[in-house]
Chain A
Amino acid sequence: MAEKLKVDLVTPYKKILSEEVDEITATGALGEFGVLPGHAPFLTSLKIGELTYKKGGQLFHLAVNWGYFEVEDDKVTVLVETAERADEIDLERAKAALGRAEEALKRLSPEDKSYKTQEAALERALIRMQVAGKTTRK
């Protein structure tokens, strides 16, 4: 078995990541999961959440939006709508977005069409803030 995972992380805007990593963790539809080299073929959808990978003893954090995660033969393909590295996140913007979403949610009832979008915005802002707090750890 190979000892590394080949990870490709792509968004509609660009290829974020194409690297060999030791370990990868993400939030799937049924909860958080980790993948090590030698994993069985696996396909899942991702929720708004945090994606962490370990490379050479270093941990890297990313905030990702809705997407897909596929493992096949130690090749990992991650398709997400947006992905941001911890150091790319604009904390001020995330905070502002959080405030806006909270305001909007107060006014809306769960039946409204935009309720779900606002809820997702809230979740995204929370994840961003959570990830931004974790800088790359040695």
Chain B
Amino acid sequence: MASLKSIKKRIVSVKNTRQITKAMKMVSAAKLRRAQENVVAARPYAKKLGEVLGRLAKSQDGSSSPLLQKRISQKALLVVVTSDRGLCGGFNANICKAAERFIREKKAEFAEISVTTVGRKGFEFLKNRQKINKNYGNVLSNLSYPTAALLAQEVVEGYVAEEYDEVYLLFNAFRSVMSQDITLQQLLPIVPEETAEEEYVPEYIYEPSKGELLDELLPKHIEVQVFKALLESVASEHGARMTAMDSASKNATEMIGKLTLQYNRARQAAITTELMEIISGAESIKG
């Protein structure tokens, strides 16, 4: 049986751990709320932009913009969005696994698949398995539209320069606090949203011309999609961390209970032995 002192020590250390996990849970909860608000706030913009794009793309048959045209696919780019920090359950592991699966499955389809990662965790996991052509670290803790736009612009530039023919975005979509959906989204070439056929499309006055507008709008669309994906990923990360820390705290509490029981038993046993010794000592003197 473990000594009283060592059990006591363990109880103290588990208590300390619980304090940390509890604090982390609280921090995540607060951050989650903010991240969630950001996701909700970004939705109307993305939706409206998608609508405008859909309408424009529909009325503009056979657009000349390279971002809309399908090319013979040979090279693909996969953008994997993970987090910079760990301790958030299966959040990063799931994404990395999905990325590996994607690469395995598409190997036959594409001659070359390059990977760009956002977040330190994904980079560290995938760098040993795959050639990473770029990593964006430290952008998630303080996410802003310009950083997302920069990423999107670099992707678009690479696409226009025919460095890759298809671009996919892999990220955790925010479903609820408890669950995240791993989502694979085709970023390029752009597939415009289908609007209902019968919908009456009024004759618009376009300023400047339709084509010019579309050319300007398409890169923006990519930026917004990337921004939205990053926001969702951040919200998911905090959600995942909150759940992970919650169960860690629960486990710690359970463990403290078990250890306390063990400690009391050991203490009781020690007292009993001591008593026995005293009694038997007293008996022998008497005798």
User: Mask for B207-245, Cβ within 8 A of A = 1, else 0?
Assistant: 110001100110000001001000000000000000000
Contacts A12-B42, A15-B44, A29-B207; A81 near B213 (Cβ below 8 A): no
- For residue A103, CB closer than 8 A to chain B, the reply is no
Near A by CB (< 8 A), chain B positions 193-210 give 202-208
Of the candidates A30, A41, A73, A79, the one whose C-beta lies within 8 Å of that of B48 is A79
- For residue A40, CB closer than 8 A to chain B, the reply is yes
In the docked arrangement, what's the CA distance between A41 and B49, Å?
Answer: 17
Dominant SS at the A interface? strand
Contact B207 A43 (CB under 8 A): yes
Contact B145 A43 (CB under 8 A): no
Contact B205 A43 (CB under 8 A): yes
- For residue B52, CB closer than 8 A to chain A, the reply is yes
Near A by CB (< 8 A), chain B positions 31-60 give 38, 41-42, 44-46, 48-49, 52, 56
Contact partners of A77 in chain B: CB under 8 A: 48, 52
User: How many B residues, CB 8 Å from partner?
Assistant: 24
Near A by CB (< 8 A), chain B positions 149-168 give none
Contact partners of B203 in chain A: CB under 8 A: 41
Q: What class of interface size applies to chain A in its complex with B? A: 20 to 34
User: Mask for A6-20, Cβ within 8 A of B = 1, else 0?
Assistant: 001011111100000
Contact B42 A28 (CB under 8 A): no
- For residue A68, CB closer than 8 A to chain B, the reply is yes
In the docked arrangement, what's the CA distance between A41 and B203, Å?
Answer: 7
In the docked arrangement, what's the CA distance between A12 and B204, Å?
Answer: 25
Contact partners of B45 in chain A: CB under 8 A: 10-12, 79
Q: Give min CB distance, B181 to chain A, whole Å.
A: 22
Contact A42 B205 (CB under 8 A): yes
Contact A41 B41 (CB under 8 A): no
Contact A43 B208 (CB under 8 A): no
Of the candidates A45, A68, A81, the one whose C-beta lies within 8 Å of that of B208 is A45
Contact B42 A41 (CB under 8 A): no
Contact partners of B227 in chain A: CB under 8 A: 12
Residue of B nearest to A14 (CB): B41
Of the candidates B38, B52, B145, the one whose C-beta lies within 8 Å of that of A79 is B52
In the docked arrangement, what's the CA distance between A97 and B108, Å?
Answer: 51
Which A residues lie at the B interface, using CB under 8 A? 8, 10-15, 28-30, 40-45, 68, 70, 72-73, 77, 79, 81
Top 6 A-B residue pairs of the complex, sorted by shortest distance between their CB atoms: A44-B207, A41-B202, A14-B41, A41-B204, A42-B205, A10-B45
Which B residues lie at the A interface, using CB under 8 A? 38, 41-42, 44-46, 48-49, 52, 56, 145, 202-208, 212-213, 216-217, 224, 227
Question: What are 6 A-B contacts defined by CB distance under 8 Å?
Answer: A11-B45, A13-B42, A42-B207, A43-B204, A68-B49, A81-B145
